[in-house]
């Protein structure tokens, strides 16, 4: 299957340390001919960290995709009925946003876009980045893994010796996960022995 002509929503949530791993994957989607619509949470847009300023990340997203960032719930809502997506990607997906998605809460543009896509029975691809995937958020992770039309970029422990509850998606598998999801399949294996403690890929 080709991504040419596919409309893909790409949502980022506030795992700032993961953006460098995600941007090249967005570029791959664009180069393969996908129309990528960038969507950000309020945290992404307004938070400045040692990994970069919010406005800089927004500008980079717009440069890569050629589309204006969707940054409000009102702007995201039409992605269901009026501007349907072939696939919605959320990467990185923080533990906070994961817990809200698993419990049907819609308080950000990214979650609204995911809800709109699920309403259309189209695939939603998740790339987790959370310090408590094997902690209190584990129940939410498993709830989403069992949900229809939700697929995961394969993930593993990123720092098992220093952060044993933390799990992060292997973002380099994003494209392959999207292709599989468009065919209604989960890329396998989904839980992988992914990381050395200092490997950001």
Q: Does 1 fall in a domain?
A: no
- Could you tell me whether strands 124-130 and 87-93 are parallel, antiparallel, or unpaired per DSSP bridges? parallel
Confidence at residue 18, expressed as pLDDT on a 0 to 100 scale:
85
Tell which wins on pLDDT, 52 or 5: 5
Q: Does 148 fall in a domain?
A: yes
Q: What is the DSSP track for 127-166? A: EEEETTTTTTTHHHHHHHHTSTTEEE--EEES-TTT-TT-
Q: Does 3 fall in a domain?
A: no
Confidence at residue 156, expressed as pLDDT on a 0 to 100 scale:
95
Q: Average pLDDT in the 9-34 region? A: 92
pLDDT digits (tens, 9 = 90+) for 50-90: 667 778 889 999 999 999 999 999 999 999 889 999 999 99
Angle value at C-alpha 144, between 140 and 150, nearest 5 degrees: 155
Confidence at residue 15, expressed as pLDDT on a 0 to 100 scale:
75
Q: Does 2 fall in a domain?
A: no
Q: How many domains does the chain have?
A: 1
pLDDT digits (tens, 9 = 90+) for 132-174: 999 999 999 999 999 999 999 999 999 998 999 999 999 999 9
Collapsed DSSP state (helix, strand, coil) of residue 60: helix
Q: Which residue segment(s) compose the domain that 86 sits in?
A: 12-198
Q: Does 164 fall in a domain?
A: yes
Q: Does 25 fall in a domain?
A: yes
Q: Does 144 fall in a domain?
A: yes
Residue 161: give its domain's CATH number.
3.40.50.1950
pLDDT surpassing 80 at residue 198: no
Decide: residue 42, CB within 10 A, 0-12 exposed, 13-18 middle, 19+ buried: middle
């Amino acid at each position: 299957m080709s991504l040419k002509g596919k409309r893909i929503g790409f949502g980022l949530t506030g795992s700032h340390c993961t953006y460098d791993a995600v941007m090249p994957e967005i570029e791959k989607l664009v180069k393969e001919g996908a129309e990528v619509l960038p969507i950000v949470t309020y945290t992404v847009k307004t938070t400045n960290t040692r990994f970069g300023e919010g406005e800089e990340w927004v500008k980079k997203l717009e440069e890569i995709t050629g589309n204006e960032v969707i940054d409000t719930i009102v702007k995201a809502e039409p992605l269901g009925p009026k501007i349907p997506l072939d696939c919605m990607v959320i990467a990185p997906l923080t533990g906070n946003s994961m817990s809200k998605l698993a419990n049907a809460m819609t308080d950000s543009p990214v979650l609204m876009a995911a809800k709109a896509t699920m309403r259309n029975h189209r695939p939603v691809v998740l790339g987790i980045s959370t310090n408590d995937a094997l902690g209190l958020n584990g129940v939410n992770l498993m709830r989403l893994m069992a949900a229809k039309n939700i697929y995961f970029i394969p993930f593993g422990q990123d720092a098992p010796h220093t952060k044993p509850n933390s799990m992060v998606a292997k973002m380099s598998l994003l494209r392959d996960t999207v292709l599989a999801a468009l065919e209604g399949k989960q890329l396998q294996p989904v839980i992988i022995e992914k990381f050395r403690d200092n490997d950001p890929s």
